[in-house]
Structure 1
């Protein structure tokens, strides 16, 4: 199975698409998601 054509990682190629998924990247992505959520508050009244 071609690992380069993985739709899971092809979303955002960081550095190199040939590089394997690092556990640190997961932590960074989680932190980014938390920061994004804090930056843009989503009230129950408006979605955008």
Structure 2
């Protein structure tokens, strides 16, 4: 009796999620830069 040929299990690539730390940096970095650039300069 011949054994059936088994195919290798195909593993799906995990869905890439953005890490929370990266998301916070992406949101806060432009705000921090804008505050630094737009801050009035006292002389």
TM-score by length of 2: 0.38
Question: Where is the helix percentage greater, Structure 1 or Structure 2?
Answer: 2
Q: Which has the higher contact order (CA 8 A, sep 6+)?
A: 1
| Structure number with larger C-alpha Rg | 2
